[in-house]
Amino acid sequence: MPSDAPLAGIRVLELGGSIAGPSAGRLLGDLGAEVFKVEPPDGDQLRTWGRLAPDGTSWWFKSHNRNKRLLTFDLRDEREAALVRRIALACDVVLENLRPGTLDARGLGAASLRAEKPELIYVSISGFGQDGPYASRPGFGNIAEAMGGLRHITGDPDGPPMRVGISLGDELAGLYAVIGTLAALLARGRDGRGDRVDVALTESCFSLLQGALPEFVHAGAVPRRAGNRYLRAAPSGVYPTRDGGWLAIGGNGQAIFARLAAAMGRPELAADPKFSTNQARVANSPELDERISGWTRTLDAADAFARLVAAEVPAGPVMSIADIAADAQFAARGAITAVEDDDGESVATYAPVPRLTEHPARLGRAGGRLGRDQQEVLLELGLASPA
């Protein structure tokens, strides 16, 4: 990674697997950190999730674990765990997403490592956090989305709680782990002390509930599932078009709603008492959504979208991954890029987010063969002798 990358010179040891921890490791790697990913002898289970590349490793694993140096150790073996401990003490950050207590028994827990190296930043992602009555329970993203409140408000009013189409809880926790790591690195630069970063998947989900907490505490309100309706502002939903498409429309501002009404050929709606304020629009949103749907159903998606863009109404088609891959804005921004795997094959991946102008993120290799970089890393750290 180039020396001008934001986290150049920072070493991260990643322990764990699947989604949340490796997601955080990927983002730190994008920003220039040198990430050592430790897998068990049979590999991270993500290697078998989803569609597989010709070499038998999932495309997801290759993309998700880009910019990492791959090591393989059996942490149940005392000698191998002791070697991983030496790697950890050569790093700035240890990032793990195992059940609390698992690494303590291997000599790789936060207290033990930080006692020997106080400047170490130790980042833990778990289902429920490092303390509390649920701390020792196993936890996954879908459990966190349920217990963190997201599933309770997702779905149709008369239907079951629903998941988003991705492992949202895991990705959220990964983002919070990166935020905590960056904050700890900044603080360490001031006072020389490391830190303990504790990220719970449940709390990561809970933190996204927006107005639900203060409205419950102060007004006793409990949000309910409302399908595609947004219960705090209107209109804000997805609407069907004549050709079978769907358009997302956000007309939930006074001036914007007036422009939407005009684009629909119904400018009088902006002055109708049922729709003239946000509170009124929310109260009458079923009727308002039906009026908007009645208009969009008369038009093909491209035509309706063009009219809304011309009227400066926030709108966009509901896009599949195939639509995104063909979209001009994503192409212009280079949002879809590629990294090479061990065989020199191109692996599609997402461009790094966020973008920095003066210290841009850069991509290295895709995730690859189990233990690919082990000997090289051990030699560099002085933990092995040349063959």
**Annotated catalytic residue 104:** no
Q: Are strands 336-340 and 346-350 parallel, antiparallel or unpaired?
A: antiparallel
Q: Could you tell me which of 45, 63, 23, 70 has the C-alpha nearest to residue 177?
A: 23
Identify the active-site residue in 44, 92, 170, 198: 170
Bridge partners of residue 69, in order along the sequence: 36
What sign for the dihedral angle of Cα 201, 204, 208, 213? positive
- Where are the chain's structural domains? 11-207+331-380, 236-240+246-317
Bridge partners of residue 96, in order along the sequence: 15, 124
- CATH no. for 11-207+331-380: 3.40.50.10540
Q: Is 250 helix (H, G, I), strand (E, B) or coil?
A: strand
Residues 198 and 122: beta-carbon distance below 8 Å: no
Q: Is the pLDDT of residue 86 over 80?
A: yes
Residues 182 and 28: beta-carbon distance below 8 Å: no
What pLDDT is attached to residue 35?
98
The model's pLDDT over 265-316, given as tens digits with 9 standing for 90+, comes to 999 999 999 999 999 999 999 999 999 999 999 999 999 999 999 999 999 9
The model's pLDDT over 241-274, given as tens digits with 9 standing for 90+, comes to 999 999 999 999 999 999 999 999 999 999 999 9
Q: Are strands 315-317 and 246-250 parallel, antiparallel or unpaired?
A: antiparallel
What is the C-alpha to C-alpha distance for residues 115 and 123, in angstroms, rounded to an integer?
Answer: 15
What pLDDT is attached to residue 353?
94
Phi and psi torsions of 314, nearest 5°: -55, 125
Name the CATH topology of 236-240+246-317: formyl-coa transferase, domain 3 (3.30.1540)
Q: Where are the beta strands (DSSP E) in the chain?
A: 11-15, 34-39, 68-72, 93-96, 121-126, 195-200, 236-240, 246-250, 315-317, 336-340, 346-350
Q: Is the pTM for the entire model greater than 0.85?
A: yes
